Amino acid sequence: MTISSKKQRVLSGMRPTGRLHLGHYHGVLKNWLHLQNDHDCYFCIVDWHALTTHYETVQAINVHVWEVLIDWLAAGLDANKAHIFIQSQVPETAELHLLLSMLTPLGWLERMPTYKEQREKLTDRDLSTYGFLGYPLLQAADILIVKAGVVPVGEDQVVHIELAREIARRFNHLYGKDENFNTIIQQALARLEPKQAEQYSKLRKRYLEKGEPEALQKAQTLLKYQTQLTTVEFEYLEGYLEGKGRIILPEPQALLTEAAKLPGLDGQKMSKSYGNTIMLREAPESVTHKIRTMPTDPARIRRTDPGEPEKCPVWDLHKVYSKPDVKEWVQKGCRSAGIGCLECKQPVIDAINQELQPIRERAQYYEQNPALLQDIVAAGAEAVRTEAKKTMAEVRQVVGINYRGKVD
């Protein structure tokens, strides 16, 4: 795979909770499909995270992992464009998680709103475990092991990305300053073209003295193009730019995914737990049946009663699927009782079935080729491990346990 190092690195993960529905498609996957075209993308099925809540019922995880993978590929994620992998197949992440745990204050984890909420919500199991408390730290390790710059997530996950930033900052603060700092900076600067070095110093000064964010950005870009620098020299110059030590683990940025665009069959958010979903592999007859039986404006009891689209969940689907002329037809026809509800639903049924057709076909192809799935994640894990090993070599070195060098 030829992925240019200039592209921004993106990582995101999904828990293996079983087959995916249209809510996942419109809320998450379509966004990933765009990203994979012009970013260096890493998409991870986080089976260890599943264990943090399902350690008593582990049988399903193995099944769910493959279901998620099939749905990802069916939706159009492409292993030739993105690294697609299973979390547990990159063991370096567990090592990073362990080392980061040494410097993670308990309070940072205990304060996570997701920690409190989930423990209160999932009362059917005991979540007073070490692993569950560490859930967000494991997520930080997922991100930091490949030094991802951007993490597309929903609103509820922003606190976890913020934690990852704080952990990275703490790590760099503890281990990014050493007695050779000035020597290495001078040495690295000497390896730049004199003009570039001068430009770097000017921009650095402008940022540190005048706080111009633009100067920082320009200098960061300048650095990225200095391919003659070693990774370590790059990290020193990157940190020096901001008046800090070496940046070993860069702080990731959350890329907020817009709130669910697609409502469920009852108008609430589409979610497995509400039983209001249309699955990506739903058969056409089943889609038709589900939409035909979905509720409409409760005031429209008889065909002759006029209705109000704003009070009808079918209208929410039209907003996503229909062109302006169809929407106009719905608005007028509903309010004047000119069209019936089944008539109104037909364009939505057609649009969804049309959208799902290629997805179903691709899913079927992968269902019939399980060996191919194995190959895809094996190749994904191998590529990710190449990056992960580089990160761990640096991390081990700065925390003083780099003697295991030759052991794989």
191-198 own/partner pairs: CB under 8 Å, 24+ apart: 191/226, 191/228, 191/229, 191/233, 192/226, 192/228, 192/229, 196/222, 196/226
Applying CB under 6 A, the span of 151-159, 172-180, 259-267, 308-316 interacting with ligand TRP comes to 151-159
Output b/e per residue, 313-338; b: 16+ Cβ within 10 A. Answer: bbbbbbeebbeeeebebbeebbeeee
Positions in 293-312 near ligand SF4 (CB under 6 A): 296-297, 300, 307, 309, 312
Asked whether position 52 contacts ligand TRP by CB under 6 A, the answer is no
Asked whether position 53 contacts ligand TRP by CB under 6 A, the answer is no
Asked whether position 82 contacts ligand TRP by CB under 6 A, the answer is no
Q: Identify whether the C-beta of residue 381 lies closer than 8 Å to the C-beta of residue 85.
A: yes
Asked whether position 391 contacts ligand TRP by CB under 6 A, the answer is no
Asked whether position 362 contacts ligand SF4 by CB under 6 A, the answer is no
Applying CB under 6 A, the span of 131-139, 183-191, 283-291, 292-300 interacting with ligand SF4 comes to 292-300
Compute the least distance from the CB of residue 314 to ligand SF4, in Å.
4
Asked whether position 329 contacts ligand SF4 by CB under 6 A, the answer is no
Compute the least distance from the CB of residue 318 to ligand SF4, in Å.
7
Positions in 14-33 near ligand TRP (CB under 6 A): 15
The single residue among 153, 262, 291, 392 that binds ligand TRP, judged by CB under 6 A, is 153
Give CA–CA dist 278/21, Å, rounded.
6
Asked whether position 141 contacts ligand TRP by CB under 6 A, the answer is no
Output b/e per residue, 56-91; b: 16+ Cβ within 10 A. Answer: eeeeebeebbbbbbbbbbbbbbebebbbbbbbbbbe
Compute the least distance from the CB of residue 30 to ligand SF4, in Å.
25
The single residue among 148, 330, 376, 377 that binds ligand SF4, judged by CB under 6 A, is 330
Write out the two tokens for 265: 């069959």
The binder of 153, among ligand SF4, ligand TRP, none, by C-beta within 5 to 8 A per type, is ligand TRP
The single residue among 61, 151, 247, 249 that binds ligand TRP, judged by CB under 6 A, is 151
Handedness of CA 257, 384, 251, 111 (dihedral sign): positive
β-bridge partners, 85: 44
Give CA–CA dist 375/382, Å, rounded.
11
Asked whether position 341 contacts ligand SF4 by CB under 6 A, the answer is yes
Asked whether position 312 contacts ligand TRP by CB under 6 A, the answer is no
β-bridge partners, 84: 43
Closest to 69 in 3D by CA, of 362, 405, 408, 401: 362
Largest Cα separation within the chain, whole Å, is 84
The single residue among 334, 349, 383, 395 that binds ligand SF4, judged by CB under 6 A, is 334
The binder of 139, among ligand TRP, ligand SF4, none, by C-beta within 5 to 8 A per type, is ligand TRP
Compute the least distance from the CB of residue 274 to ligand SF4, in Å.
19
Asked whether position 291 contacts ligand SF4 by CB under 6 A, the answer is no
Q: Identify whether the C-beta of residue 167 lies closer than 8 Å to the C-beta of residue 104.
A: yes
Give CA–CA dist 183/240, Å, rounded.
12
Measured from the CB atom, is 147 or 345 closer to ligand TRP? 147
> DSSP per residue over 353-386, as a string?
HHHHHHHHHHHHHHHT-HHHHHHHHHHHHHHHHH
- Kind and range of the H or E run holding 194: helix 194-210
Give Cα separations from 406 to 38, 171, 303, 402 (angstroms): 36, 24, 76, 10
Asked whether position 39 contacts ligand TRP by CB under 6 A, the answer is no
How many residues bind to ligand SF4 according to rule CB under 6 A?
A: 14
Asked whether position 84 contacts ligand TRP by CB under 6 A, the answer is no
Asked whether position 297 contacts ligand TRP by CB under 6 A, the answer is no
The single residue among 13, 239, 264, 347 that binds ligand TRP, judged by CB under 6 A, is 13
Asked whether position 93 contacts ligand TRP by CB under 6 A, the answer is no
The single residue among 22, 70, 73, 143 that binds ligand TRP, judged by CB under 6 A, is 143
Write out the residues near ligand TRP by the rule CB under 6 A: 11-13, 15, 46, 49, 139, 142-143, 151, 153, 157, 160
Write out the residues near ligand SF4 by the rule CB under 6 A: 296-297, 300, 307, 309, 312, 314-315, 330, 334, 339, 341, 344-345
